[in-house]
């Protein structure tokens, strides 16, 4: 599948000559997702897990069925391993301030790349400072890649968390 075929699935991208790299802040939705959201709002919109009335029960079932589908899709052992959040920033803060604060100890290491958005830098700076663990950065080469040698040197037996972007807006102008 080429890029033009993929863009056809995303109404906002279809007739624009752009490459959208800000999904960490706002992810563009394909038509299928837009249609499912529209269907939910038209037919099931109520608070999941918050009521004993029919509409809330149906919303809860939709919500939990989505969790189950995602768990199956990514091969999670339990659907309870799937946690929904509003965005990447909220997810990263949740991981840093729950798992990180509870589990990182002195001399443990967190590794991130130098290309990270602040939402994946600031929480780890704060958590590693409070837990006396260490924050290590992987650096990029002139082609904006992290070389194997850098990975092998930075990720060690002391590394407890690796948080790295798939696509960085730091390199967008290059």
Closest CA to 46 of 65, 26, 63, 67: 63
What pLDDT does 158 receive?
A: 98
CA 99 to chain centre: 16
Query: Higher confidence at residue 173 or residue 107?
Result: 107
Say whether pLDDT at 25 is over 90: no
Query: Higher confidence at residue 68 or residue 87?
Result: 68
Is the whole-model pTM more than 0.85?
no
Task: Please count the other Cβ atoms lying within 10 Å of the Cβ belonging to residue 100.
Answer: 25
User: Mean pLDDT across the stretch 61-66?
Assistant: 92
Say whether pLDDT at 174 is over 60: no
User: Mean pLDDT across the stretch 124-134?
Assistant: 98
- Does domain 88-165 fall under CATH 3.40.50.300? My reply is no
Say whether pLDDT at 8 is over 60: yes
What pLDDT does 172 receive?
A: 59
What pLDDT does 167 receive?
A: 74
CA distances from 150 to 83, 140, 155 (A): 31, 8, 8
User: Mean pLDDT across the stretch 84-92?
Assistant: 89
Report the DSSP beta bridge partners of residue 151. Answer: none
Alpha helices in 18-155 (DSSP H): 31-43, 54-74, 88-94, 101-103, 122-131, 148-154
* Mean pLDDT (the chain, rounded): 91
Break the chain into its structural domains and give their ranges: 3-81, 88-165
């Amino acid at each position: 599948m080429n890029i033009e075929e993929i863009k056809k699935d995303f109404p906002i991208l279809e007739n624009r000559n752009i490459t959208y790299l800000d999904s960490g802040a706002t992810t563009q939705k394909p038509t299928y997702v837009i249609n499912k959201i529209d269907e939910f709002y038209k037919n099931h919109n109520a608070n999941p897990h918050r009521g004993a009335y029919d509409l809330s029960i149906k919303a809860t079932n939709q919500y939990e069925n989505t969790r189950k589908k995602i768990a199956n899709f990514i091969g999670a052992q339990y659907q309870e391993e799937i946690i929904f959040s509003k965005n990447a920033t909220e997810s990263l803060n949740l991981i840093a301030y729950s798992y990180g604060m509870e589990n990182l100890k002195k001399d443990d290491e967190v590794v991130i790349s130098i290309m990270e958005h602040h939402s994946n830098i600031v929480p780890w700076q704060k958590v590693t400072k409070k837990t006396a663990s260490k924050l290590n950065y992987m650096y990029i080469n002139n082609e904006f890649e992290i070389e194997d040698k850098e990975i092998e040197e930075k990720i060690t037996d002391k590394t407890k968390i690796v948080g790295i972007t798939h696509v960085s807006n730091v390199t967008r102008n290059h």
